[in-house]
Amino acid sequence: MSKAYKPFSIYDDDEEKKPVESPSDLSHLSEDNLSLEIEDGPTTEYVKAREDLLKQLGLDKADGSDTPKSSKSIPSETLENAPFLQGQVEQSVEERAKSIIQDRRETGKIRDRRKIASIFDKPIEPDKAITPGRARWHPLSYRAQSFWFLFPALILFVLFYLYPMVKGFQISLTHYSPLGDSVSVGWDNYQRAFQDSFFWQTVVNAVAFTLASIIIGFWPPIILSILLNEMTRGKGLLKVLYLLPFVIPAVPAANLWRWMFDDGFGVLNSILQWSTGEPNLQVGWLSDPRWALLSIVAMFVWKNIGWFMLIYYASLQNLPEELYEAAELDGAPITKKLINITIPYLMPVVQVLLIIQVLTTFQIFTEVYVMTNGGPMHSTEVIGTYIYKTAFGAMDLGYASAMAMLMFGALLLFSVIRLYQLKQVTR
Amino acid sequence: MAKTKIPKSKQTSFGVPKARGLFSPQERKNPKVKMILILGSFVLFFGALVSIAPIIWMVLGSFKTPAEIYSVPQSYLPQDIQWGNYVEAFRLVPLLRYLLNSLIICTGVVAAQLLFCSMAAYSISKLRVKFAGGILLLFMTSLMVPFEVLIIPLYLISKNFPLGPGFPGVNMINTYWAIILPAIFSAFGILILKDFYDSIPNELLYAARIDGCGEVRVFLRFIMPMTRPIMSILAIFSFVTTWNSFFWPLVVLNNPDYYPLVLGVQKLVDMGEPWNVVLAALVLSTLPSVLLLMFFQRTIIRGIAYTGIYG
């Protein structure tokens, strides 16, 4: 007999509320015997109990069939002769077996498969539409509209993000030649990158750039935003002034700083000479390998400080004033309020912006390209400029792709954190 | 019950009461705190000065003569204003042509991005397209990819753009398309719009549908006007990003007829002209952004505040 799984409702033991699936299931309901309780014929427990009983009665070979449906009622004279029934209440074998099973079930000795199944069953949703079958998908159907709304973005995503990603990885495994015949070279490009001292130089520079920009430029926006939040007037003007460097394009900004950083006629050296009183003091801001990277960091910090400050400021605007008031009722001094309320409230934003800063500084290109283009003795060569030179100067697309992939891998941890943060915000 | 009105002075752009600062009104009367506040405002204004001083210096420099620019004790104010620097900049490179190119590219990107991103967001948020969550996550992975990874394959794709099976590839190098098409898709925009759409009650859309609107009309007549604030934020952001973009145009354009303004100015700088002319060109390329910030400062600042949590 097939033991196919059938869904059971939570009203498993209550016969009346049992959902009826098909007319064929009705058949067992009419039978006034044990199969009422058992869906797919006798369970092993039942068969065992019945066999035990019949053995004790000495009737185990009397009936060929072992199903309860075909078993005939046992003659009463035989029952009277049964040793264990002497002096007991009259009870048919079926009733006896039934009560044994019932007892065992109540004491937990029989594990009811149906009860377990009912726990894992999904409840039937009451408002679920009953459809005769799966409708065929048709491009002009009403339901297909949701897909067509998504379609352009999906195509653009596949064409300009997904496919280039895959293709970029493919290219990184070849020695690419622009005229056609590109030779597959396996992981050679990656090996080459690991042995390339210039590549390691770019990595070191990128890490140095990131660290320097965090050390120099990460805390001022926090302080400035807290100060800005205290101001009673002039906020609008201040916001615009701070935002101005962020809005202007990177190319004029970088050129402007290149001019100001100039050794001979740059304004920064003039200010330095004027403030120290030494007319011959000259710092090669961009021509000295020791200073070049830091100079670009300074320009980067100048450009992005207003943006970060406004984000912190917006976050401070949402800080509920009840927190401060509660602290003041408890007599908390200003420093306590700052450390225990303001800073913790800004912490989530700090985390997000830290990750963003790491990601942007690693991917920096325009500022470096304009100001030094790799700089004196590769001291400012970052990954972006090196990839650009390799790919479009030397036309070595395979090697450049491999370096880009390595960069992607190095940034993966930060990007995943970033994605996780975004996902949390979206929820 | 009458609605309590928040006074104008206490309103932010979102209509939420303004948060107070760290100091309570009582503490503000304390002379020590007053000193701190005055010091703080000095720091703030000094910072603002540092922010704009280079820009002012650039404007001043663009009016100087070459002799003034290269004089070693700096001359701070131009003796007499040299408009000739600007004329020279216009003569050397077709700046107006670059400006037009920039405008064409930015308009194309902004329009297409707003349309396609909001359509996708509508589908994900309101039309309950299948696998909506998965698709959104897939889109978001595009935020993880550094541009350096994409630039080489994108260059090859634009060199030989596949129109479809059976068609020869199209060379998009030195066309507007090469810049516009890759810039249209923005996972960030879809994310923000999707979040905004989630806050629109479904009952509004049900009402429109019962009145006989199709999805297209619901989208155009209800969703689009309702989301105008967020759309304007997104439009300005994508405009500024496209306007400032440099790396991709540098790779994909080598015909000066198609240069956007930023790239054209960089080419002028690379020509090795004297700094006063270069500075005039730099001022010209900065001017549109400054004007944008002046006219749309509320939207931009609100946008940064709104998208700040997204980063």
Break chain A down into helix, strand, coil percent, rounded to 5.
65, 0, 35
Residues A273, A354: one domain? yes
Locus of tokens 């029952």: A79
- Residues of B within 8 A of A161 (CB-CB) are 142, 145, 150, 185
Lowest mean pLDDT across A47-51, A283-287, A419-423: A47-51
Question: Which pLDDT value is given to residue A41?
Answer: 54
pLDDT tens sequence across A205-227? 999 999 999 999 999 999 999 99
Question: Which pLDDT value is given to residue A85?
Answer: 53
Question: Which pLDDT value is given to residue B7?
Answer: 53
For A17, list phi and psi in degrees, rounded to 5.
-90, 0
- Residues of B within 8 A of A422 (CB-CB) are 140, 143, 191, 310-311
**CB neighbour list of residue A170: distance below 8 Å, 6 or more residues apart:** none
Question: Which pLDDT value is given to residue A31?
Answer: 46
Higher pLDDT, residue A46 or B114? B114
Cα separation, A245 vs A102, whole angstroms: 83
* Residue B101: band (very low, low, confident or very high) from pLDDT cuts 50, 70, 90: very high
Residue B235 has pLDDT above 90, yes or no: yes
- Residues of B within 8 A of A339 (CB-CB) are none
* Residue B129: band (very low, low, confident or very high) from pLDDT cuts 50, 70, 90: confident
Cα separation, A379 vs A396, whole angstroms: 22
Q: Average pLDDT, whole number, for chain B?
A: 86
Answer yes or no: do A321 and B194 touch at CB < 8 A: no
The upper half-sphere exposure of residue A21, i.e. CA atoms within 13 Å in the direction of its Cβ, equals 9
CA dist list (Å): B247 to A250, A380, A385, B100:
11, 17, 10, 19
Question: Which pLDDT value is given to residue A20?
Answer: 47
Cα separation, A225 vs A333, whole angstroms: 20
Residue A344 has pLDDT above 80, yes or no: yes
Locus of tokens 């897909």: A147
Binding-face residues of A in 221-280 toward B, CB within 8 A: 223-224, 226-231, 234, 236-245, 247-253, 255-257, 259-260, 264-265, 267, 270
Residue pair A49/A95 in contact (Cβ under 8 Å)? The answer is no
B127, B150, B215 member nearest A168 (Cβ): B150
Structure token pair of residue A238 = 């201040």
Considering only the top CATH level, what class is B93-307?
Answer: mainly alpha
For A176, list phi and psi in degrees, rounded to 5.
-80, 135
Q: What is the CATH number of the domain that holds A334?
A: 1.10.3720.10
For A386, list phi and psi in degrees, rounded to 5.
-65, -40
- B42-65 burial, b at 16+ Cβ within 10 Å, e below that, comes to eebeebbeebeebbebbbbbbbbb
Residue pair A302/A252 in contact (Cβ under 8 Å)? The answer is no
Higher pLDDT, residue B58 or A320? B58
- Residues of B within 8 A of A247 (CB-CB) are 240, 289-290, 292-293, 300
Residue A412 has pLDDT above 50, yes or no: yes
Residue pair B304/A311 in contact (Cβ under 8 Å)? The answer is yes
Q: Is residue A383 part of a domain?
A: yes
Question: What average pLDDT score do residues B196-200 get?
Answer: 89
Residue pair B144/A419 in contact (Cβ under 8 Å)? The answer is yes
Structure token pair of residue A321 = 């004033």
Residue A2 has pLDDT above 50, yes or no: no
Question: Which pLDDT value is given to residue A55?
Answer: 80
Nearest in space to A327 (alpha carbons), one of A345, A311, A310: A345
Binding-face residues of A in 141-160 toward B, CB within 8 A: 142, 145-147, 149-150, 152-154, 156-157, 159-160
Q: Is residue A136 part of a domain?
A: no
Q: Is residue A133 part of a domain?
A: no
Tell whether B243 is within 8 A of chain A (Cβ).
yes
**CB neighbour list of residue A365: distance below 8 Å, 6 or more residues apart:** A382, A384, A385, A388, B147, B148, B246, B247
**CB neighbour list of residue B69: distance below 8 Å, 6 or more residues apart:** A265, B61, B274, B275, B276, B279
Locus of tokens 């670059």: B98
Question: Which pLDDT value is given to residue A425?
Answer: 79
Structure token pair of residue B181 = 């098409």
Question: Which pLDDT value is given to residue A91?
Answer: 67
A411-417 own/partner pairs: CB under 8 Å, 24+ apart: A411/A358, A411/A359, A411/A362, A411/A363, A411/B144, A411/B146, A412/B144, A414/A355, A414/A358, A414/A359, A415/A359, A415/B143, A415/B144, A415/B145, A416/B144, A417/A355
Q: Average pLDDT, whole number, for chain A?
A: 79
According to DSSP, the β-strands at A174-177 and A180-184 are: antiparallel
Residues A212, A313: one domain? yes
Q: Domains in chain A: how many in total?
A: 2
Residue pair B233/B305 in contact (Cβ under 8 Å)? The answer is no
Question: Which pLDDT value is given to residue A90?
Answer: 60
**CB neighbour list of residue A95: distance below 8 Å, 6 or more residues apart:** none
pLDDT tens sequence across A259-313? 999 888 888 888 888 888 887 788 888 888 888 999 999 999 999 999 999 999 9
Residue A1 has pLDDT above 50, yes or no: no
Residue A192 has pLDDT above 60, yes or no: yes
CA dist list (Å): A25 to A19, A29, A201, B148:
10, 8, 77, 66
Question: Which pLDDT value is given to residue A120?
Answer: 47
Answer yes or no: do B150 and A161 touch at CB < 8 A: yes
Answer with the one of A120, A140, A161 that is the final residue of a domain.
Answer: A120
Answer with the one of A98, A120, A142 that is the final residue of a domain.
Answer: A120
**Letter for the amino acid at B205?**
L
Tell whether A400 is within 8 A of chain B (Cβ).
yes
For A39, list phi and psi in degrees, rounded to 5.
-70, -55
Percent of chain B with pLDDT over 90: 46
Nearest in space to A392 (alpha carbons), one of B155, B169, B181: B155
B27, B54, B146 member nearest A363 (Cβ): B146
Answer yes or no: do A248 and B289 touch at CB < 8 A: yes
Q: Is residue A146 part of a domain?
A: no
CA dist list (Å): A319 to A344, B10, B22:
11, 15, 10
**Letter for the amino acid at A339?**
I
Residue pair B79/B68 in contact (Cβ under 8 Å)? The answer is yes
Question: Which pLDDT value is given to residue B4?
Answer: 56
Tell whether B276 is within 8 A of chain A (Cβ).
no
Check residue A340 and report its DSSP letter: I
- Residues of A within 8 A of B145 (CB-CB) are 161, 165, 408, 415
Residue A125 has pLDDT above 70, yes or no: no
pTM (two decimals) = 0.76
Nearest CA in chain A to B18: A317
Higher pLDDT, residue B21 or A357? A357
* Residue B65: band (very low, low, confident or very high) from pLDDT cuts 50, 70, 90: confident
Nearest in space to B284 (alpha carbons), one of B117, B153, B92, B137: B92
Task: Count how many pairs of residues, chain A against chain B, have C-beta atoms within 8 Å.
Answer: 330
Residue B212 has pLDDT above 50, yes or no: yes
Answer yes or no: do B144 and A412 touch at CB < 8 A: yes
* Residue A42: band (very low, low, confident or very high) from pLDDT cuts 50, 70, 90: low
* Residue A71: band (very low, low, confident or very high) from pLDDT cuts 50, 70, 90: very low
Question: Which pLDDT value is given to residue A135?
Answer: 56
Nearest in space to A153 (alpha carbons), one of B159, B104, B135: B135
Structure token pair of residue A55 = 């053995």
Higher pLDDT, residue A318 or A305? A305
Answer yes or no: do B251 and A388 touch at CB < 8 A: yes
Question: Which pLDDT value is given to residue A80?
Answer: 55
Q: Is residue A390 part of a domain?
A: yes
How crowded is residue A205: how many other Cβ atoms within 10 Å of its Cβ? 24
- Residues of A within 8 A of B291 (CB-CB) are none
Answer with the one of A100, A120, A140 that is the final residue of a domain.
Answer: A120
Structure token pair of residue B155 = 């260059």
Higher pLDDT, residue B290 or B14? B290
**Letter for the amino acid at A191?**
Q
* Residue A48: band (very low, low, confident or very high) from pLDDT cuts 50, 70, 90: confident
Question: Which pLDDT value is given to residue A86?
Answer: 54
End-to-end CA distance of chain A: 50
Query: In this structure, what is the dihedral angle of CA atoms A246, A251, A256, A261, given to the nearest 10 degrees?
Result: 100
Nearest in space to B153 (alpha carbons), one of B165, B141, B145: B145
Question: Which pLDDT value is given to residue A33?
Answer: 46
Tell whether A320 is within 8 A of chain B (Cβ).
yes
String of DSSP letters for A376-410:
GGGTT--HHHHHHIIIIIS--HHHHHHHHHHHHHH
pLDDT tens sequence across B267-280? 999 888 888 899 99
Cα separation, B46 vs B51, whole angstroms: 9
Residue A375 has pLDDT above 80, yes or no: no
Q: Is residue A319 part of a domain?
A: yes
Question: Which pLDDT value is given to residue A119?
Answer: 45
The boundaries of every CATH 1.10.3720.10 domain in chain B are 93-307
Sign of CA dihedral A380, A281, A254, A362: positive
Domain housing A41:
23-120
Lowest mean pLDDT across A115-119, A183-187, A358-362: A115-119
Q: Is residue A2 part of a domain?
A: no
Cα separation, A90 vs A96, whole angstroms: 10
Mutation pick from A158, A160, A307 vs chain B, by most beta carbons of B within 10 Å, is A160
Lowest mean pLDDT across A216-230, B12-26, B229-243, B289-303: B12-26
* Residue A75: band (very low, low, confident or very high) from pLDDT cuts 50, 70, 90: low
What's the ipTM?
Answer: 0.88
pLDDT tens sequence across A82-116? 555 555 556 677 787 788 777 776 666 555 544 44
Highest mean pLDDT among A33-42, A155-164, B17-26: A155-164
Binding-face residues of A in 24-83 toward B, CB within 8 A: none
A318, A328, A407 member nearest B146 (Cβ): A407
Higher pLDDT, residue A88 or B23? B23
Cα B260 versus chain centre, distance: 15
Answer yes or no: do B156 and A397 touch at CB < 8 A: yes
Cα separation, A249 vs A243, whole angstroms: 12
Cα separation, A294 vs A292, whole angstroms: 6
Residue B123, by phi and psi: left (phi above 0), alpha (psi -120 to 50) or beta?
Answer: alpha
Question: What average pLDDT score do residues B233-253 get?
Answer: 92
A160, A259, A328 member nearest B154 (Cβ): A160
Q: Is residue A316 part of a domain?
A: yes
Residues A206, A114: one domain? no
Query: In this structure, what is the dihedral angle of CA atoms A24, A28, A30, A33, given to the nearest 10 degrees?
Result: 170
Residue B27 has pLDDT above 60, yes or no: yes
* Residue A427: band (very low, low, confident or very high) from pLDDT cuts 50, 70, 90: low
